Chain A
Amino acid sequence: MEALLLVLAIPLVGSAVLAFTGHRDFARDVNVAFSLGTFLAACALTARIVSGGPLLALDDAFFIDPLNVFLVTLTAFVGLTTSIFSRPYMRVEQDHGKMTPARLRLYHSMYQLFSFTMLMALTTNNMGLLWVAMEAATLATVLLVSVYRTAASLEAAWKYFILCGVGIALALFGTVLLYMAAEKVLGSEGGALLWTRLDTVKARLDPNIITLAFAFLFIGYGTKVGLVPLHNWLPDAHAEGPTPVSAVLSGLLLNVAMYAVLRCKVLTDGALGNALAGRLLMGFGLISVVVAAFFLSRQKDVKRMFAYSSIEHMGLIAFAFGLGGPIANFAGLLHMTVHSLVKSAIFFAVGHATQKAGTQVMADIRGLIKVSPTVGWGMMLGSLAILGMPPFGVFASEFLILTTAMREQPWATPFLLLALGVAFASVFGRVLPMVFGETSVKPLAHSPALLPVFLHLGLGLMLGLYVPPYLVGWYTQAARMLGG
C-alpha cells in the first residue's frame, strides 16, 4: 500500500521538482535519484505482492496482480537504467549545442512525468483512468520527441500526436461502450469501470456491445502498440527523438499499451466466449511481424531500423497472446521482458555510436570496435540477442512461440520463420560493417555509460539460460489469468 503510493508519488514529485528548479548541472543526477527511488519502491511493492498475493488499494482504485507487478518492476528498472544512460548522452548533446538548459529542464521533467503516467496506467484498476494515463503518456512523450525542434523532429512529433491522438480517441469510444455494457450489470454507482468488478461479471456483459467495444479498444491501444497498419508514427518518433526517449518508448510504452490490450482481451474473452479477440491479435500480430521484417530490410537510419524491429517484436508478442493458452501466454510475457531489456540496451549502444559517428545513417558508421570496443560489442551482442540467437532470452521465448504455433496454428509458422529470417539477414548484414571494418568515428569527451547496456544484456542472457523460480511463478499466474 505505502509502496504503491511511493511508486506513483516519487516520479510525480520528481517531475515537479525538476520542472521548478530549472536546469542545473545536478539535474541529471536528481533524475537518476528519483528513478532509483521509484525502482526501490517498485521492488518493495513486488515483495509485498510476492508474499501477500494480489492487492486492491484505495477503494479499489488500484489493483496489483502478478500481471502488472512484473511490468511495474520492469518499467521502473528500465526507467532507472535509461536515466543513467542519459547522463553522459545528454552532456554530449549539450556540448554539441543540440540541448539547451531550457530543453534539458523540459526533458528531465517530462521524463519523470512519463514514468508516472506509465506506472499509473499499469496500476490503476479503472479502465477509464487507464485511458487517461495512456493519453497523458502520449502527451508527455510528444514533447520529448520534438525536443530538438528540428524540422524532422517536429514532423515526427506532429505525426505521433495526431495518429496516436486519433487512435487513443477511438479507444475512448471503446471505453464508453464498455461502460455502457457494464452499467447494465453493475449499475451506475461508480465501480462499473473497475477492472476487478468487470472481471467478476464478464460473462454477463452484453456480447453485441462488447464486440464493438473491443474492436475500438483494440484499434485504439493497438495504434500505441504499433501494430501494422497503424504503425506509421513509430519509426519516425523513434528515429527523431533523443535516444533515451527511443529506448523508453520501445522498451516500455509499447509494453504498457500491450498491457491495456490484454486487460481488454480478458474481459472480451469472458463476455463473448469465443476466440474473436485472440484471432484479431493473431492476425494483426502476424501482419506486423511480416510487414515490419520487410520494411526493416530497406532502412538506412539505424534508429529507424531498430524501431521496425520493435514493431516486429510487438507483432510477435501480440501473436503469442492471440494464440493463448498457458505456454503461449508465458512465452508472450517472457518476450515482453526480454524485448524490453534487450531493445533498450541496443538503443543505449546505438545512442553512443551515433554520437561518436555524428550521424544516424548506417552507411556512415563504420568500425565502432576500433574506437570503442565496449560500444561495438554492446551493439553486436544486442543485435544478436534481439535476432533470437541462443543463448539469449529472446531465443527461448521465440522458440516457445514457434513451437506452440506449429502445434496450434501450423499455417502461421512459415510466415513467422520467413519474417524472422529476413529480419536476421537484414539486421545482421548492417550491424556487422558498423561494428567491424575501417573506422571513421571519433572518440567523445564524456565516457559513455555502458553499465546499463551490459546489465540489460546480462539479464537477457540470464533469462535465456535460467528463469528464477519466483519469476516463473509470476509468469505462470499471469498466463493463467490471461487464459485463452
Chain B
Amino acid sequence: MSLLATQLINLFAAAILLLAFAMISQRRILSLIHLFTLQGIALVAATAVVGYVTRQPHLYLSAGLTFLLKVILIPLLLHRVIKRLDVRWDVEALINVPTTMLIGIVLVIFAFNLAQPIARLSLSIAGGTLGIALACVLLSFMMMIIRSKAVPQVIGFLSMENGLFFAATSATYGMPMVVELGIALDVLVGILILGVFMFQIREQFDSLDIRHLEKLKDS
C-alpha cells in the first residue's frame, strides 16, 4: 500500500473530525446542514480511497450509497424541512461555545485512549483512524445532548451515523454488503420518520424546541 493512500485516508479522517468540531460550535441550522454535507463528502472520499487501496469493489458501492444518501438525499430532505418550517436562523445552545470545545477535546482524548490498544493490533491500513471514528461518535453524542432544538438533534444523530460508518470502513474495510444495505435502509426510514415527527411536533407546540418535550416526568 502506498504512503500517499495512507496519508489521504488520514487527511479525510482529520477532515471528518474537524467537521464534527465545527458542527458542535455552529449555531445556524443552515450552516449545520452544509457542514453535515461536507462531512458526508469527506466520508465518501475516505471510503473510496480505502476501496481503491484494498481493491475491495464493494467499498465503491457503499461509497456510492453513502454519497446518494448522506450527500444528496438527506441534506435535500433537511433543506426542505427547514424551509417548510422556516427555522433557518435559529440560534440556540445550552452551553456556550468555548466550554463545548473544551469538553469536545476531552472527549477526543478519551476516545483515542480507548481505541489505542485496538488500533495497535489492527492489521488494516486505517486502523489508527478508529480513534477518530470513536471521537466523532462521542462528539455527535454531545451535540445531541447540548442542543435543545429538534433539527440539530437530528443532524447530531446523522453525524453519529457518519462516525459509525467511518469506523466500519476504516477498521474493517466495510461490513458485509447485506448488512450495509440494511443499515442504509434503516437510516433512510429513520430520517423520513423524524421529518414527519418534526411537522407533528411543530403542529402540536408551534415550535421545534425540545424543551417543550419535558412534560413526562415521574412525579
Contacts and interface: CB of A to CB of B under 8 A. Distances in A.
Interface of A: 126, 128-129, 131-132, 135-136, 139, 142-143, 146, 149-152, 154-159, 161-162, 165-166, 169-170, 172-173, 175-177, 179-180, 183-184, 188, 190, 192-193, 206, 208-209, 212, 235-236, 239-240, 295, 298-300, 304
A209 B197 CA distance: 37
B179 A193 contact: yes
B216 A154 contact: no
Interface range, B side? 35 or more
Contact of A206 (B121, B173, B214): B121
Contacts of A152: 215-216
Contacts of A142: 193
18 contacts: A129-B179, A129-B182, A131-B183, A146-B200, A152-B216, A155-B215, A158-B213, A159-B213, A161-B194, A173-B164, A177-B171, A179-B168, A180-B122, A183-B172, A188-B172, A240-B216, A298-B219, A304-B218
Interface stretch (B29-37, B65-73, B94-102, B153-161): B153-161
Given A173-B137, A206-B121, A295-B218, A157 B179 contact: no
A166 B200 contact: no
A135 B186 contact: yes
B110 interface: no
B183 to A, nearest CB: 6
Interface in B163-209: 164, 167-168, 171-173, 175-176, 178-179, 182-183, 185-186, 189-190, 193-194, 197, 200-201, 204-205
A305 to B, nearest CB: 10
A330 B5 CA distance: 53
B57 interface: no
Given A146-B197, A298-B218, A165 B190 contact: yes
A437 B9 CA distance: 72
Q: Closest 8 CB pairs between A and B?
A: A128-B179, A132-B182, A155-B213, A135-B186, A180-B172, A176-B168, A236-B216, A180-B171
B190 A177 contact: no
Contacts of A151: 204-205, 212, 215
Given A151-B204, A176-B164, 9 more contacts: A131-B183, A155-B215, A158-B213, A161-B193, A162-B157, A165-B190, A170-B137, A173-B167, A239-B216
Residue in B167, B189, B216 whose Cβ sees the most chain A Cβ within 10 Å: B216
Nearest to B197: A158
Nearest to A296: B218
Interface in B97-126: 114, 117-118, 121-123
A208 to B, nearest CB: 5
B134 interface: yes
Residue in A136, A161, A162, A183 whose Cβ sees the most chain B Cβ within 10 Å: A162
A155 B190 contact: no
Interface residue SS majority, chain B: helix
Contacts of A190: 176
Contacts of B189: 136, 139
B172 A176 contact: yes
Given A154-B200, A235-B218, A166 B178 contact: no
A159 B211 CA distance: 12
B190 A139 contact: yes
A239 B217 CA distance: 11
A154 B214 CA distance: 11
A166 B218 contact: no
Contact of B200 (A149, A169, A184, A295): A149
B157 A165 contact: yes
A419 B150 CA distance: 37
B193 A132 contact: no
A180 B204 CA distance: 45
B216 A156 contact: yes
A136 B153 CA distance: 20
B186 A176 contact: no
A208 B164 contact: no
B197 A159 contact: no
A86 B175 CA distance: 40
B210 A176 contact: no
Contacts of B44: none
Contact of A166 (B141, B197, B213): B141
A126 B178 contact: yes
A236 B171 CA distance: 37
Contacts of B167: 173, 176
B201 A158 contact: yes
B197 A128 contact: no
Contacts of B13: none
Contacts of A179: 168, 172, 175
A206 B164 CA distance: 21
Contact of B164 (A172, A212, A304): A172
B144 interface: yes
Contacts of B144: 162, 166
A298 B218 CA distance: 7
Contacts of A188: 56, 172-173
Contacts of B185: 132
A300 B134 CA distance: 41
Contacts of A169: 137, 157, 160-161, 164
Nearest to B177: A190
A6 to B, nearest CB: 21
A126 B179 contact: yes
Contact of B186 (A139, A143, A180, A304): A139
A473 B130 CA distance: 44
A431 to B, nearest CB: 19
Nearest to B122: A180
